Amino acid sequence: MDLFSAIDTEPVRQRMEQLAAELDRLNYEYYMNDRSLVSDQEFDRMMRELQDLEQQYPELASPLSPTKRVGGEVNKSFRSVEHRFPMLSLGNTYSIEEIEDFEARTRRILNSQFSILNSQFSYTCELKYDGVAIGLTYRHGKLVQAVTRGNGTTGDDITTNAKTIPTIPLQLRGDYPDDFEARGEVVYPFEAFEAMNRQREADGDEPFANPRNAASGSLKLQDSAECAKRKLLFCMYFMMAPDGVPLPQTHYGRLEYARQMGFKVQPYIQECKDINEIKAFIDHWDHARWNLPFGIDGIVIKVNQTPLWDRLGLTAKSPRWAIAYKFKAERVSTPLESISYQVGRTGVITPVANLRPVWLGGTTVRRATLVNADFIRKMDICLGDSLLIEKGGEIIPKVVGVDLEKRQPGAMPVQYVERCPECGTPLVRVEGEAGHYCPNCDGCHPQIIGRLEHFVSRKAMNIDSLGPERLELLYQAGLVHNVADLYDLRREQLIGLGSDATIQDRSADNLLEAINASKQVPFERVVFALGIRYVGEVGAKKLARYFGSMDALMDATVEELALVEDVGEVTARAVSEWFANPDHRALVHRLRQAGLQFVGQWQQASGRLEGMTLVVSGTFEHFSREEIKADIERHGGKVSGSISGKTTFLVAGDKMGPEKLKKAEKLGVRILSEAEYMDLVR
């Protein structure tokens, strides 16, 4: 029977191998050589054919198939892995004088201690990528593991997600060592990053702050198909192997060797013979970096001859044969053309500088926040000024000063607006607060839409079918003016809505199902979803658990509210005033009628941790991080994010942060394993 099965599937196996080989070739030409040999439609057709065959004949599917590039596997935990070779960090400097000292010291050690002449060694200069460092292990030409840097000793296994990055070879080409590790940086190209942020904003999600953080988060996505959509790039910069495995004897040669194996080695690397050539390379890229399609934050200088690395040795934290020069944040001056004032969901006004477009940090900057009235006064910003804009490691530009050399005679200081730019209501400023706000919370359009967006957000009611555009559509159609209106929506009202009738039968059903499902959201998240000023996620949880029901919370006095842990007088007064408003009480009544959870299900299990403060670090076998924190609270303990003299215990799981361990030991804080914690509370 096995013989007949093998004969029957042989043509299928051959076709799968043919498709895989052709797709690998096309991928290589596209990502390594920037050559597109077939249309996107033809490439997708071949990929779908291979996917269909692998689904039909899973026993014939290769673990290195090109279909792994599109993801689909789900990884719910990223196990900790110990690095074969520690991933050391480099010494950093912003000073060109320290680079001169590094080069002179290296030359002196090699000349005097080892009698190595200047002509016998050189340096390599390459880009310092602004991304996430990972190590890739290859055996017999196949990728077997991908691990994040972590703390340098251990990292997280991200192999499933790494396979979705097109510039990480799954199978090497030509000649290659049987066992070695390739190291490099995963970066988020600017174009792909901005496209992803535009999509996130359209979906109602917070945009990513910068490409580096986005790349890091992408590598930890549980669904590898989502990681594949991010279009990440792997830039290789290092190659190492166990003793006995032959490698080229120069760093430059190793990277060229890796290029021949199929790695995308960036061409921006140069062999330099002395400090003058090193400084020329740094100077060039300090200006040319903005023309790159991805972010860099400096230059890495290494001794090129790898046998010299052992002679130069290591310090406690970094190698003596390499150093990183980091670029200073770029600063430009550009005219302030006008100031607009944005209204947030709580009514807080944020002034925004509208600038004459200027190129900065790889993007065109047109706007930058001016924070509040105090910031404008402190900066002494006048009408017609040119502002100094900086962008360091972050994508978001910031105003750092006024270019006083360009100030016009008689320039008048900026006068902060006195009325809401949206509804015309006089602005209010609470004593002790920096910002102004519009008190017309129920009649100011941005506040209404902002509260709706907050109410449906993931940490609140989690109605994921309602993004900003759809909420605006419902508002403009007169169907939704407050959060309670969402629960009165009917199918016939929704179908055909939009200028192009975007809501049809299925999407209407999905929307109503999501709204109905939100009725099961726990009481503490309902409190958060109300959007009461100063009440964040943690505060809502503590209020809900203290009072236990919406009725008790609504009727609490300011004094009673202030008794809740971490709820100060300002927050207590805001909660009391919010519930004292007759319109808000009517809103709560409608939400009650709709069936939302108005009674807490949380119960304290014991008082064993009463009066104790615990810090949680690492990953656990029987709990998620959130579950163990909730368990601590259920037993009467308080959870803190940082270790101090008030910390009772540090509950330590796998991959615990080394800094927390160090601080706990220094302060004499007792460290509990997961098993010891469970014994303590049970």
E strand residue ranges, 469-626: 613-617
pLDDT for position 444: 94
Helix (H) or strand (E) holding 49: helix 40-56
Show the tokens assigned to 630.
Answer: 């909730």
Distance CA 179, CA 358 (A): 49
Chain position carrying tokens 């360009």: 406
229 is catalytic: no
Q: What is the pLDDT of residue 1?
A: 41
Residue 393 CB neighbour total at 10 angstroms: 16
Task: Provide the CA 65 distance to its chain's centre, in angstroms.
Answer: 29
Task: Report in angstroms the alpha-carbon separations of 603 from 607, 631, 635.
Answer: 11, 10, 9
Alpha-carbon distances of 117 from 114, 120, 251, rounded to whole Å: 9, 5, 19
**Strand 613-617 and strand 649-652: pairing?**
parallel
Report pLDDT digits (tens) over 61-71: 888 788 877 65
- Looking at per-residue pLDDT, the higher value among 592 and 7 belongs to 592
Residue with tokens 């993931």: 458
**405-445 pLDDT tens trace:** 999 999 999 999 999 999 999 999 987 777 899 999 889 99
Q: What is the pLDDT of residue 73?
A: 60
Average pLDDT, rounded, for the chain? 88
Q: 356 pLDDT band (50/70/90 cuts)?
A: very high
Domains of the chain: 2-70 (1.10.287.610), 92-324 (3.30.470.30), 330-406 (2.40.50.140), 445-520 (1.10.150.20), 523-594 (1.10.150.20), 613-681 (3.40.50.10190)
- Summarize the confidence of residues 10-25 as an average pLDDT: 88
Is 617 in contact with 660 (CB distance < 8 Å)?
yes
Instruction: Flag whether pLDDT at 203 surpasses 70.
Output: no
Q: Which helix (H) or strand (E) holds 435?
A: none
pLDDT, one tens digit per residue, over 135-172 is 999 999 999 999 998 878 888 899 999 999 999 999 99
Between β-strands 92-93 and 322-326, what pairing exists: parallel, antiparallel or unpaired?
Answer: parallel
Q: What is the mean pLDDT of residues 360-367?
A: 78
Chain position carrying tokens 């430009």: 332
Task: Count the neighbouring beta carbons within 10 Å of the beta carbon of residue 538.
Answer: 13
**DSSP class of 209:** S
d(CA 212, CA 133): 10
Q: Which of 212, 210, 186, 185 is nearest to 197 (CA)?
A: 210
Average pLDDT score over residue span 296-310: 94
Rounding to the nearest 10 degrees, give the CA dihedral for residues 631, 633, 634, 637.
110
Task: Give the CA dihedral 215, 216, 217, 220, nearest 10 degrees.
Answer: 120
Q: Quickly count: other Cβ atoms within 10 Å of residue 374's Cβ.
A: 12
The pLDDT assigned to 205 comes to 61
Q: Flag whether pLDDT at 6 surpasses 60.
A: no
Q: How far is CA 344 from CA 205, 347, 418, in A?
A: 16, 5, 16
Confidence class for position 482, pLDDT limits 50, 70, 90: very high
pLDDT of residue 72: 56
Residue of 128, 130, 154, 292 lying closest to 653 (CA atoms): 154
Rounded alpha-carbon distances, angstroms, from residue 461 to 316, 453, 596: 49, 10, 10
Closest CA to 625 of 674, 658, 681: 674
In the predicted structure, residue 521 carries a pLDDT above the cut 90: yes
Task: Find the catalytic residue in 128, 163, 302, 541.
Answer: 128
Residue of 186 and 60 predicted with greater confidence: 186
Cβ contact 368:387 at 8 Å: yes
Task: Compute the distance between CA of residue 210 and CA of residue 212 in angstroms, rounded to an integer.
Answer: 6
Q: Is the pLDDT of residue 393 over 60?
A: no
Nearest by Cα to 269 from 417, 277, 584, 261: 277
pLDDT for residue 135? 96
DSSP state of 624: -
pLDDT, one tens digit per residue, over 235-275 is 999 999 998 899 999 999 999 999 999 998 989 999 999 99
Residue 580 has pLDDT above 90, yes or no: yes
C-alpha closest to that of 388 among 336, 338, 326: 336
Tokens at 72, concatenated = 């689909």
Query: pLDDT tens digits, residue range 606-630?
Result: 888 988 999 998 888 888 777 788 8
Cβ-based burial of 333 (10 A; exposed 0-12, middle 13-18, buried ≥19): middle
Residue 400's φ and ψ, nearest 5 degrees, are -115, 0
Distances (CA, A) of 580 to 438, 569, 653: 19, 16, 46
Tell me the percentage of the chain whose pLDDT exceeds 90.
51
Cα distances (Å, whole numbers) of residue 407 to 353, 357, 386? 16, 19, 7
Give the Cα separation of 461 and 606 in Å (integer).
Answer: 29
**Residue 232: C-alpha distances to residues 131, 138, 147, 166 (Å):** 10, 20, 16, 8
**What values do phi and psi take at 82, rounded to 5?**
-85, 130
Reading the block at residue 362, the tokens are: 């790889």
Q: From CA 259, how far away is CA 263, in angstroms rounded?
A: 5
Q: Which of 78, 129, 149 is nearest to 234 (CA)?
A: 129
